Structure 1
Amino acid sequence: MTSTTINRLIRREVLSRVWGERLVMFFKLAILAVYILGSFAASQDQNFSFNGFLSKKLSLGGIAEFTSNGILQLTNASRQQVGHAFYPDTIRFKNSSNSSTTFSFSTTFVFAIRSAYPTLSGHGIAFVIAPTRGIPHALPSHYPGFFNETNNGNSNNHIVVVELDTIQMREFGDINDNHVGIDINGLNSSMSYPAGYYANNGGQFQNLTLISGKAMQVWVEYNGVDKQMNVTLAPINIVGKPNKPLLSLSVDLSSVIEETMYVGFSSSTGSVGTSHYVLGWSFKINGQAQELSLSQLPKLPRIGPKKTSRVLTIELPVISIVLVSAAISGAVYYIRRRRKFAEVLEDWELCYGTHRFKYKALYIATKGFREKELLGAGGFGRVYRGVLPSSKFEIAVKRVSHESRQGMKEFVAEIVSIGRLRHWNLVQLLGYCRRIGELLLVYDYMPNGSLDKVLHDQPMFSLNWNHRFRVIKGVASGLFYLHEEWEQVVVHRDVKVSNVLLDGELNGRLGDFGLARLYDHGTDPQTTRVVGTLGYLAPEHMRTGKATTSTDVYAFGAFLLEVACGRRPIEPRAQSENLILVDWVFACWSRGDIRRAVDPNLDANYVVEEVELVMKLGLMCSNSEPSARPSMRQVLQYLEGEIAMPELTSLGISATGLTFTHREGFDDVAMSCPKMPVRVVDNSVPPQVSGADPGHTSPPACTLLSVGQMTELIF
């Protein structure tokens, strides 16, 4: 072998060794580069964004599912269930398992919670960072799908949770049933705050209701350098993320978060079926998560009609138990309110149906029986104006105190029977309500009040003669209906101007049937107690205690004279004796000057024939002999001009021998009302009436019986 050949072989061997070493070095560098690039990619490029979930790229567990329009529905109306949804691949949160630094991360998502009830729901929704997708052995209800009773609070869990909690669990230190919290390895929040956000225009806190069914957006941001975790919540109708976060917690997650973790959502239901939705989700390591396109998010399903049968038979008892255990103060309030609106209801009243009103409805209608709603007060009760909350119908409510239940069934039966009366000139008795120690009567409301106030109490307006005559004929028509036209005879027993009310068109309506009694046609009434108002009581009523249609006619006569003359039946005078109206009108008639008794407020603007007719008819009805008084049928015929009224002299009434008010019977009345003496008729004519005449002063009311006496009488 020549030297040339040997040198060539040596060169070849040297070159092969050099190239071999270079190849080894190249492969080592390549492997190192791949490792470095992989680590860099893992720490820099792990991000995703879902504007809806039509692609269905998440890993689901429990009852979670995707709707047809791309919503992630974690739970539905099922109870005691769990729903999970995780990104299918792990996320690298550290460079190595031994690293003491966790990468920064950011996520944002849009959610909504809809419950079958406006104030109750399941146990909320949570964003979760966990070492596994399934979270084994997790329980539903108050362990919302990521803990259980044995591992709650265990540092080996390595779980970070941002909870949107809608149930208050005192065992976990929850602040309320509508809050946002940051939980680490357990359900006792490291920090929590009521759900809401800080507005950018001034920083004022705005409350949000998590179970409102409306879509809201959450931002979760962790700074691995500053060891700071921020959580922000806002409705999706505001522009951008609020500047001030709802929660800001200083925390080092390096000991909690492992090198690789799963991210996703968990939710659970308890006793109340609730749908927890996620509409969109964005996540990024070491950077700001991509903003969601809110306009591209799927629409929440429309809320349909609720099933009532299941609610009433199964879910309502469960909810009631939860409410009672969680709201003792509410139960106390309910008991007090129930006592406030307590009523007396016996079995025999059930047949009266719509005639009975709820006390609560009357209380609300009268604004709690406020003094501002008081229309008037008398011997038998106080009357209030009201507006029924359901129908907005105006009513008048009369409150009558009573102590005895004796005879109540018969009395209420009469009230209900009277409630069936239907006549244009009668105030409609709509019904009643009973409470302990109290009876409430409900009538139609008359906006212009009682005729008594218009005639005597300096009213806002005055009635001309046309109005007065129309009122007189209306009351006469109403009394005729009570006496003869209805299926039973109704004796009113308290006909007087204060019981005549004026509607919106100044029509007269006879009201207050609290003293009325019913009996069949052709029979005699059995009432034997004197009940009524002094000045309107017929002599035989005071003598025998028996009320008849004729005693109503007598009271109507006093009513006629009062309307025409503008004076009360009995008025106190400056002298020792009182003015008795019927005596005075009779004295004017006997002297041939009956028009002298006409109300001076009419200013001679009246029809002479009508005024004289009314006053003469008033004298005829005031005859002390019941048989000499006309019936209400005849009275109505006289007023309508259907028959001519006879002269008073033809009825045995003369200017020298009037027998209107025999003293017999009046002595008993005087004993009942000693402050208002009653005198025998004479023929003296009092001085001319003027506007300043003390005869126009209002005398003290003098009913024969007190409220207690009245209730003892009729109950």
Structure 2
Amino acid sequence: MFSKLGILLSLLVGFVASEDISFTFNGFRSANLSLYGIAQITANGLLKLTNDTEQQKGHAFYPNPISFKNSVTGNSSSFSTTFVFSIISQYSTLSGHGIAFVISPTKEISGALPSQYLGLFNETNNGTSTGHVVAIELDTIQNSEFDDINNNHVGIDINGLKSATSAAAGYFADTNGAFKNMSLISGHQMQVWVDYDGVKKQINVTLAPINVDKPKIPLLSLSLDLSPTFNDNMYVGFSSSTGSVLSNHYLPRIGGKKRSKLLTFGLAMMIVTFVSVAISSAVYVVKRKRKFAELVEDWELDYGPHRFKYKDLYIATKGFEEKELLGVGGFGRVYRGVLPTSKIEIAVKKVSHESRQGMREFVAEIVSIGRLRHRNLVSLLGYCRRKGELLLVYDYMPNRSLDKYLFDQPKITLNWGQRFRVLKGVASGLLYLHEEWEQIIVHRDVKASNVLLDGAMNGRLADFGLARLYDHGTDPQTTHVVGTLGYLAPEHTRSGKATTSTDVFAFGAFLLEVACGRRPIEKRAEDALLVDWVFSYWNRGEILEARDPNLGADYVVNELELVLKLGLLCSHSEPAARPSMRQVVQYLEGDICLPELSSLGLCASGLTFAHKGGFTDFAISYPSSMSKAFSHPPSVADTLLSGGR
């Protein structure tokens, strides 16, 4: 059992119509309710709408129809409903599907679907005018197909689950009008008032804690004539359903006093009053499973869809099974998953965040970056925090990372056309981050292993902005250098400051590794640094000889030469000598010509991109013992590795 949702209420219903009808439910065993689906009356008088069965629905209706229209005018009469409820979930931040108070032309809602349809509609009749259904939904799951605003809202539904109006659960305080948030699955007792004015043609819905008088300002207000929606006679009841995450919905017996006298507000007016009293102690307490506990703070409630439930991610990745593991990187382990409801494929990265310092700013920036949208960026869909872990959710890329196709005798070799398209795509994505979004995003870790390939083998830059975000909460004067050895610009290692120019430097190393099929630093007796190696070929006038031998003769000479020379230019030790990403894109697209490198004074010293020291605090991908293997002149390798750990 994943989740238990307990809703406590009893019904006291009074009517004034053509005949004097009144009733009070004092327990449900003798109430003669009409039950459908998996709804049942338990031995101790509980009305149980759902049970531990997936994808089912439960309905409970008062057995007799009620006249909702004036017999003379045909207009909908005024009515009021109030009920007090308490939803108790097994997990503090997880819940199954919600519950709806329903006014329906029939008590047998055949063909309705469970799960997000709440047992009220199906794909065909949802949103059609023939439904004649009015519902007040207390919804605890966000369904994008119904344009739900969040996973904790109240809505007025007319003939469909795309609410005519909805609002986050809460109330307006009478003292100062301030809005007070409420959590529907908190377990606290709450009261709902539904009031329809047949003269003004207006329906109001109000929500408040049980110890607060009815607020003067309703939570929802909708101007709508319900006469066309209502038939002459309608049925009143509740509906709920289960999905992949199971829920139990209860309506227990509560003692009450019968009303001997009913209120009337004039001729042709009727009052329909539903009173339900919720007592939390009447519901059994469900033990919380710690393995699904999340870390959620009040400030995170504003992030809405960017906050994933750990339960959903756990189910999606089959409990983070090893067979779902996509890879292990410097920032954590990445798993493939399929979201249980939408069936969307995702990649989930588990990152340690032992320190809470700066976490609020960090998450705020994750959510901000989650709004980035570019065809060459892997979308960051959202996050989840749990104990000492931060889980980041991305779009899933079926063809994995680019480095698998370049290094260590790859099983599949990309041809030149595919490689050139990837380079132009990643360049376009970086230009978007640097100049075309509302804020400047510095990636700080551009490399082949952070470029993923989609189903069409298009390159998409992943982990964008993540390295920079890890510096939140630290002293800017002592910011750690974060990145990978071989891609770090010299000014970055000295000052710790990441700029768009340091991204260009890393992109230069990326250009060379894609063209040459070699990592920026190779564990070899000589030519350890790729940039030195390519420079030596350029210096001899044989730069094309630096190409990946796996390309064979299948390449475009002008394009390959451009990529190799541009890689050297971007690797210049002086930031001012490097092009911007806009210029890089223009070079790759052929919009402008690359200047001759000799005219720029390019020399080996210009490619010497590191100095002693400054390498104590960055994420290094190669061991310091590697430096012993180098007999290379001290132009680059010795100075680069001398401070490594």
Would you say same fold, with TM above 0.5? Answer: yes
Q: How far did 1:529 drift?
A: 2.2
- Please tell me the residue identity of whatever aligns with 1:79: G
| 1:307 corresponds to 2:238 | yes
Q: Does the C-alpha gap of structure 1 residues 616 and 490 become closer, same or farther in structure 2, counting only changes over 3 Å? A: same
- Please tell me the residue identity of whatever aligns with 1:664: H
Contact kept in structure 1, 2:528 and 2:632, CA below 8 Å = no
- For residues 75-124 of structure 1, the C-alpha deviation after alignment (integer angstroms, 9 at most, x for no partner) is x987366699xxxxxxxxxxxxxxxxxxxxxxxxxxx9957863543589
Distance 1:633 1:620 in 2: 14
| 1:515 corresponds to 2:474 | no
Contact kept in structure 1, 2:401 and 2:448, CA below 8 Å = yes
- Please tell me the residue identity of whatever aligns with 1:516: R
Counterpart of 1:433 in structure 2 is 384
Counterpart of 1:298 in structure 2 is none
Counterpart of 1:503 in structure 2 is 454
Q: Does the C-alpha gap of structure 1 residues 578 and 80 become closer, same or farther in structure 2, counting only changes over 3 Å? A: same
Counterpart of 1:581 in structure 2 is 530
Contact kept in structure 2, 1:531 and 1:704, CA below 8 Å = no
Distance 1:641 1:518 in 2: 36
2:626 to 676, 692, 699: 676
Distance 2:498 2:292 in 1: 37
SS of residue matched to 2:328:
strand
- For residues 466-494 of structure 1, the C-alpha deviation after alignment (integer angstroms, 9 at most, x for no partner) is 00000000000000011111111111001
Counterpart of 2:514 in structure 1 is 563
Distance 1:518 1:401 in 2: 11
Alignment of 1:405-416 (within 5 A): 405-416=356-367
SS of residue matched to 1:420:
coil
Q: How far did 1:417 drift?
A: 0.9
Q: Does the C-alpha gap of structure 1 residues 496 and 81 become closer, same or farther in structure 2, counting only changes over 3 Å? A: closer
Distance 2:342 2:366 in 1: 23
SS of residue matched to 1:368:
coil
Alignment of 1:42-121 (within 5 A): 79=27, 118=39, 120-121=41-42
Bigger-Rg structure (1/2): 1
Q: Does the C-alpha gap of structure 1 residues 403 and 670 become closer, same or farther in structure 2, counting only changes over 3 Å? A: closer
Distance 1:661 1:670 in 2: 21
- For residues 185-210 of structure 1, the C-alpha deviation after alignment (integer angstroms, 9 at most, x for no partner) is xxxxxxxxxxxxxxxxxxxxxxxxxx
Q: How far did 1:518 drift?
A: 11
- For residues 211-263 of structure 1, the C-alpha deviation after alignment (integer angstroms, 9 at most, x for no partner) is xxxxxxxxxxxxxxxxxxxxxxxxxxxxxxxxxxxxxxxxxxxxxxxxxxxxx
| 1:478 corresponds to 2:429 | yes
Q: How far did 1:354 drift?
A: 1.0
| 1:599 corresponds to 2:599 | no
Distance 1:472 1:607 in 2: 14
Q: How far did 1:446 drift?
A: 0.4
SS of residue matched to 1:677:
helix
Counterpart of 2:595 in structure 1 is 646
Distance 1:683 1:529 in 2: 26
Q: How far did 1:350 drift?
A: 1.3
Q: Unaligned 5+ residue runs, structure 1?
A: 1-75, 85-111, 125-303, 325-330, 520-524, 685-702, 706-715
Q: Does the C-alpha gap of structure 1 residues 534 and 422 become closer, same or farther in structure 2, counting only changes over 3 Å? A: same
Alignment of 1:346-495 (within 5 A): 346-495=297-446
Q: Does the C-alpha gap of structure 1 residues 596 and 305 become closer, same or farther in structure 2, counting only changes over 3 Å? A: farther
Distance 1:305 1:462 in 2: 66
Distance 2:516 2:601 in 1: 24
Contact kept in structure 2, 1:397 and 1:441, CA below 8 Å = yes
Counterpart of 1:327 in structure 2 is none
- Give the structure-1-normalised TM-score: 0.50
Deviates more, 1:114-123 or 1:307-316: 307-316
Distance 2:31 2:486 in 1: 84
SS of residue matched to 1:489:
coil
Q: Does the C-alpha gap of structure 1 residues 368 and 670 become closer, same or farther in structure 2, counting only changes over 3 Å? A: closer
Contact kept in structure 2, 1:663 and 1:680, CA below 8 Å = no
Distance 2:345 2:477 in 1: 36
Contact kept in structure 2, 1:527 and 1:547, CA below 8 Å = no
More helix by share: 1
Counterpart of 2:608 in structure 1 is 661
Distance 1:414 1:526 in 2: 20
Counterpart of 2:206 in structure 1 is none
Distance 1:680 1:530 in 2: 27
Contact kept in structure 2, 1:539 and 1:666, CA below 8 Å = no
Q: How far did 1:533 drift?
A: 0.3
Distance 2:566 2:307 in 1: 40
Distance 1:607 1:449 in 2: 26
SS of residue matched to 1:468:
helix
Q: Does the C-alpha gap of structure 1 residues 491 and 667 become closer, same or farther in structure 2, counting only changes over 3 Å? A: closer
Contact kept in structure 1, 2:481 and 2:617, CA below 8 Å = no
Q: How far did 1:422 drift?
A: 1.0
What fraction of aligned residue pairs are identical, expressed as a percent? 65
Q: Does the C-alpha gap of structure 1 residues 632 and 543 become closer, same or farther in structure 2, counting only changes over 3 Å? A: same
- Please tell me the residue identity of whatever aligns with 2:238: K
Q: How far did 1:353 drift?
A: 1.1
Q: How far did 1:399 drift?
A: 0.2
Distance 1:404 1:670 in 2: 17
- For residues 428-459 of structure 1, the C-alpha deviation after alignment (integer angstroms, 9 at most, x for no partner) is 01111011111001111000000011212454
RMSD: 3.7
Counterpart of 1:624 in structure 2 is 573
Q: How far did 1:676 drift?
A: 2.5
- Please tell me the residue identity of whatever aligns with 2:337: G
Alignment of 1:320-331 (within 5 A): 324=284
Distance 1:609 1:546 in 2: 35
